[in-house]
Each structure stands twice: as C-alpha cells, then as structure tokens.
Chain A
C-alpha cells in the first residue's frame, strides 16, 4: 500500500483511476483496528485510568487524583530507575549500532563463506531470552563460571555481577549480543539497496574502501540507521526479562530500570495504581523519543535517499 501512494501523487491525472481500483476500502482495516484497539488502546486507557487510583488487585480501585503522579515526581527510586534506563539505552545504542552496521555492510557483500558466517551470527536471535540470561548467569558465576578463569586475563573482576557498574554493563552486553543479529539483518538489507553504480563511479574517481564507506554507504543508510535506532531505543527502554533473570534489579537497586520497577511495584508489591503511573510515564517517554527521532531525521517525510539520481 505504501509504495502505491507516491505513484498516485506523482501522476495526478491517473490518481482517480488507480485510487478506486488499487486501494482497499476502510472496511478492510476493521479487523486490524479492532485487534489493535482491544489489545493496545483499551489496556493503555485502563492503565492511564489506574494511574489515578489506588488499587491492590483485590478490592475495587479507589480514585486518588494526582497522588500517584506527585509521588512519582518525588520518588528518588523512580528518578534512579529513569536515569538507569537512560544510561542502559545510551550504552546499548552506542554498543550495538557501530557493530551491527559494520557487520551488516559486510554481510551485504559477496565474499566467500559470508553466508555461512552470517548464519552463525544469526543464532543468538533464535535463542530464548530466558535461556540466554541463564546461560550468561552461569558463565559469570564468580566461583564456578568461565569468568573466574578468563576474567583476570582480560582485567575483569570475577565479581562483575556484584558491582553496580559491572551488572549494568553485563545487562547491556547480553541485550546487545542477543539483538545485534537483528539489526545486522536490517543493515544488510539497507546496504543491498544501495545501487552498485554509485560504487563503480566512486572507484573510477579513485575513492578507496574507507572513503566509499563514509561517502556512499553511510549517507545512503541514513534512514536505515533511524529505523534501527528507534527499535533499539524503544527496545532498551522496555527491556525487562534479562534484568529479571540475571540481576533481579540488584545489586541493591543498581539495575532496577523502569520496566523492572514497574514489575516490582505492580506484581510484587501489588501497588497497581502506582505501577500504572510508572508504566504510563514509560509509554510517554518512549513514544516521545521515537517521535522526536522521526522528526529530526526527516524520516517522517519519507524522502527517498536516491533523490538526484
């Protein structure tokens, strides 16, 4: 559907004909909209409503006005969780983007053994998050894990999961390890779309591999970077399972990021009203960041990267 729209716009005279024949009526969207409404909009609306109540899940919710929200802005634990979420998001993005981009560009080529190696890189994405978390937990056991043997060689304290910085970095690393293949795939697709002729022209002009990468590949992948970054950022902001299994928010509360704080408040403390406020805040932040990124990168206007060709 989306790639029909520009055609219709550019050829205004044919718009009527193409429009009525090619575009499905709104009725076709009803099942999708209904599904989205029942499973996304309605729960979201209920969460927003609950954020103005006090509810233990047992009795009926009582309306408490802005109590949860005032508490939210004065809660040092929420502040810490928001900061840790931000930190985790930044670290994840900075770690995953360069590696995934380079791997993706490499995987888009036609080298020998490329397909084979790509298949291996792809494996982490096929594993369950739980399995990965348990696996890394075992590897990082300070007394019996691999870390005890190889940690000192690499200058890593085997007690890495017991230190605040270490635990957060491990969570970022494990998440990156798991999702990098996915972003590699996105970049591979993006890199394959770059017309060969650009590179041919560049080599005739005498540009080497590195210049070609910075002057052709990177600018051409602009929108791919935006797509991948938004997915990464929203993914990191809602990152939960690895924290639950690997650190349980610890040591202390040093990996208690927003989604984990929400879980603990909602499903361990049964303070569902306040948990709903945390959840709503998270939705607002994640949506705003995505919108800002779309706006700033010009991604929203869907201008073609091949303009001028």
Chain B
C-alpha cells in the first residue's frame, strides 16, 4: 500500500505542498496588513476587561445617543491588556482613546509623542478642572503635564487592623511611630504577628517602601524619580526607608515566614481575619476581599486607618499612596480629537459617578461625597473618600509610576531587600545603577 501511493502520488504531493506553503505565506503576510482603525464616524476606546466594564459600556451608550461620531468600546481581557495595548500602539490599528494607570504606564507613549497633552484642555474647561479631586489629577501626570482624565474608582493603600485583637490587648491603632513600636511589642509578646505581609509576591512589600519614604522624606523624593531622575534614589530618605524596613524585619514585625506568604491565594488576608496577625497594609480592595472570604469578620472586626507618622520624618501624615484611579488618554493620531475630549468630559458627570458608586467603587469626582451613603458599604466608602480628598499628595504606586524598564528591577531589588539578600546600602546602589 505504501509504495504505490508514495510513488504515484509524488506529483500531486508536490503541488499540495506548494499550495500549503502559499496559503501559509498568505496567512503570515495577512498579519501585517488588516483594516486600519477609525472608520469615519467612529473612535475606538480600549478598556481593561473586568467586571467594571459595564459602567464604561453604559457611559458609551449614553454618549453615543447624542454624539455624531460614535465611540466603540473594546474590552481587552486583563492579563493581556498591557501587551495588547503596546502592540496596538505600534500599529495602524491603535485605539483613539485608551485606559491606563497614568505615570510610567504612559511614559513610552509620551516619549514617542503618541499622546494628546491635555494640560491646557483641562485648565480651560471648568468641568474637567473642578470635576475631580486635585491630588488624583496630578498623581497620574508626568513632568507636570496632564495626559489623562480619571475614569474609575480610587484604590488608596490603608492600614487595616483586627479590632478584636486591639480591644483584647487594650491598645489603639498606631498614629505615631512610638505607637507602632508599642503595638509590635505587645502583639509579639502575645504570639501574634504584628503585620501580615504577603512577601511571596513583591508588590505588598512595595507598599511599605512607598509609605515609609513618603513619611520620611515627603512625596517630592519619589516625584523626582517618577519624573525621570534615577539619581533621586540617592536621596538620604531612600536609605533611611530601606534601613527602617530592615529594622522592622529584624524586630519580627512581619513574623518569621512572610517570605512564603501569598496574597493572591488569600493567605495574608486570612492571617488578619483569623487573628493570627493584627494589622495588614493593603490597597482598599482588602475590604471587599475580606467581605468575600470572611464576611462576619469584615462586618464586625475589620478596622482601617491611615499609615502612622515616622519619627523624624517630614512627610505630611495625611499623604497617601496607592492607585489613585485609572485614566483615559487620547491618541495624538486620532481623527476625532474633539469627540474624544467630549467623551472624556462625561467622566466628571453625576450620572457616571453614580454608576461607579452603584458598582461598589468610590469615584474620584468632586461631586461624589453626597452619593456615597448609597454605596453598598457606606462607612468604608465615605472614610476612604475623605481620606483621599484631604490628602495633600497621592503618590501613584511605584511599579506603575515608573516605566517597566525601571519598575521590574525595582520589584526585584525590593524582594531581595526583604528576603535579607541585600543590605539597605546595596539596595540604594542597585537602584541608582538601574539603567
């Protein structure tokens, strides 16, 4: 059977193979061309595809009812968002408007002059100028220029604590560094880990660095680094921050095994809810995490407060760090810039803020305060909103404020510092040397 088919089939086979090759080549070539985006009368908006997309979808539908040029919303699944955006921005199919985290997440596009500078637009427009909490507007800016308009809820980092444990040991949540030291001593003596820390992942450790540096040296120290000056890592406050981290670790503030504690699997939040740890420095999403995993604890014993002062520090204790919000930015190559900006203005509207509140988010608009009583978690939402509104400065999470080429080595170096692989001095040197 074999020989017959093989010998006789040779000619046909060659043709089949050649045909297959041509089809393949065609497919490969096809990847390059494709339709160019922005058909007349439509602008494309990329958004991070998670549960909150429905809020943006509703806003788009409302906007399209009155606008001549329509907005087309493209939700990109979360894990792929950064990579997909990066490839799209380098191609003719780039979105006209896109979701981002401000700061370092848009730095490459600012450098390649792909973004519309919105500074003067915002200054000359009352809706945009007064529509949002000022610290939020500046948090995502670069070199004093505004490239984005806030479009989702805020996620400040807060100090969460277990009320029952504090009551049992008759102490108050720490407001100063001495309070914090006293709390560490008390809880350690009782065999309780003072602070839960998911050190198997790097970003929870980053939150400690962010707050300590802000309290020790003020927000200007990191602002300088965010604006592109890596020598900023040489500021004495950075070294003091790294030394403070080491002191806390040596004191046992995070327990002995924090290096193998996960956040994603729920291990760190569970330490807090089970009373094995007394406090947890985490983004405001900790509240909904606890509500989902330990609803009774969340309703009864979960407390939250601001990060305490640090002895000798110059930073305002009302400052906060975290993810101020997400922003819409506009592609400089868009054919419908006016439509894009008109769409961005709707983000400051009462309807949009209300939709965010109904979704459980805390909007960053100035008009949101009165709506929060209708939030699914009114007390937490109101406290969070006031904390952010009163904050003189809101520092964007370092890993998002910096470009990937700096943020990745930063996370690695922080992980080495927390794992005791490097000294505070080595940390500073490594960050100054990061290219």
Contact = CB atoms under 8 A, between A and B. Distances in A.
Interface of A: 20-22, 24-25, 27-28, 30-31, 34, 38, 56-59, 134, 137-138, 140-144, 158-164, 247-254, 264, 267-271
Contacts of A161: 200, 259-260
Interface residues of B, number: 45
Dominant secondary structure at the A interface: loop
Interface of B: 2-3, 6-7, 10, 13-14, 17, 20-21, 24, 28, 83, 86-87, 89-90, 108, 112, 199-202, 256-262, 265, 267, 270-271, 276, 404-405, 408-409, 412, 415-416, 419, 421-422
A165 to B, nearest CB: 13
A59 B258 contact: no
A112 B102 CA distance: 66
A162 B10 contact: no
Given A252-B416, A264-B408, A162 B257 contact: yes
B89 to A, nearest CB: 7
A251 B257 contact: no
Contact of B405 (A21, A163, A250, A270): A270
A142 B261 contact: yes
Contacts of B87: 57
Contacts of A142: 257, 260-261
Contact of A162 (B260, B265, B267, B416): B260
B421 A159 contact: no
Nearest to A270: B404
Contacts, number: 122
A205 B265 CA distance: 60
Given A38-B28, A162-B419, 12 more contacts: A25-B7, A30-B21, A31-B20, A56-B108, A143-B276, A159-B257, A162-B199, A162-B260, A248-B202, A251-B421, A252-B422, A269-B409
Question: Top 4 nearest A-B pairs by Cβ distance?
Answer: A162-B259, A161-B260, A159-B257, A162-B260
> Which of B201, B271, B409 has the most chain A CB atoms closer than 10 A to its own CB?
B409
> Which of B259, B260, B405 has the most chain A CB atoms closer than 10 A to its own CB?
B260
Contact of B419 (A25, A251, A269): A251
A134 B416 CA distance: 23
Contacts of A251: 199, 259-260, 415, 419, 421
B200 A59 contact: no
A57 B419 contact: no
Contacts of B20: 30-31, 34
Given A253-B416, A268-B404, A30 B259 contact: no
29 contacts: A22-B3, A27-B10, A27-B13, A28-B13, A34-B20, A34-B21, A57-B86, A57-B87, A58-B86, A58-B90, A58-B108, A137-B265, A143-B257, A143-B261, A143-B270, A143-B271, A143-B276, A159-B260, A161-B260, A162-B199, A162-B260, A250-B419, A251-B260, A251-B415, A251-B419, A252-B412, A252-B419, A252-B422, A270-B404
